[in-house]
């Protein structure tokens, strides 16, 4: 599977912090049925076996709806569960090495904060970029923010899809109009909400408006 720009519209990054009565698998399925177009499984505190088990459960859902599914940081789990790809940050494995490990047919996403990082990531084999944090975020409180001007520079400077991430919620999605991004990546804006279905539907509508509005 290779990623296309429309896959980026509403990109969900999981977080077990907000699990309530529903399992993560059920939460993700609710989100997909309500408009999520891409799923990243992000787990920082699970051992390999538990991570792999969760990844396989998640893949059964994303396969059913034909939604791209990537694993955050962990190439070994991504390959073992048959995920569509992997997403890595600037402090993880070097992008070219990841590409060599996963092969040419898997999706490779890379987190960037500057135009230089973005161009290098594309040259090294990235299929899409995650840029952020575009707003301050409780998910990564130590993350530096990326200005709207830099976000625009990155979008104009690469040919692969770009998704913005970090502190995005219903009230600020439209602040990203005209930036050139192909979509938004969110964590708490979906998974921390009492009504995931309602939140996802609203975000999907706002993301569509944001992507197809050149100025706001």
Residues designated as active site:
42, 111, 140
d(CA 15, CA 13): 7
CA gyration radius for the chain?
16
* Number of Cα atoms under 13 Å in the Cβ half of residue 27: 27
CA 8/CA 161 separation, integer angstroms: 7
**C-alpha to C-alpha distance for 97 and 108, rounded to whole angstroms:** 11
Cα separation, 176 vs 137, whole angstroms? 16
Contacts 24+ apart (CB under 8 A), 96-100: 96/124, 96/125, 98/125, 99/124, 99/125
């Amino acid at each position: 599977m290779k990623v296309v720009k429309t896959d980026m519209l509403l990109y969900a990054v999981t977080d077990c912090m907000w699990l309530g009565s529903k399992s993560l698998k059920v939460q993700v399925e609710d989100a997909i049925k309500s408009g999520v177009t891409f799923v990243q499984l992000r787990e920082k505190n699970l051992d390999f076996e538990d991570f792999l088990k969760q990844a396989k459960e998640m893949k059964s859902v994303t396969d059913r709806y034909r939604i791209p599914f990537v694993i955050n940081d962990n190439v070994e789990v991504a390959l073992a569960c048959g995920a569509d790809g992997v997403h890595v940050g600037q402090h993880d494995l070097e992008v070219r090495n990841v590409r060599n490990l996963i092969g040419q047919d898997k999706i490779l996403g890379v987190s960037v904060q500057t135009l230089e990082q973005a161009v290098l990531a594309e040259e090294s084999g990235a299929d899409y970029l995650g840029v952020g944090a575009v707003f301050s975020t409780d998910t990564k409180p130590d993350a530096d923010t990326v200005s709207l001007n830099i976000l625009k520079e990155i979008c104009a400077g690469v040919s692969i899809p770009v998704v913005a991430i970090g502190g995005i919620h219903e009230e600020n999605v439209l602040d990203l109009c005209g930036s050139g991004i192909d979509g938004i990546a969110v964590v708490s804006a979906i998974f921390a909400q009492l009504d995931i279905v309602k939140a996802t539907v609203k975000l999907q509508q706002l993301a569509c408006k944001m992507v197809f509005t050149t100025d706001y």
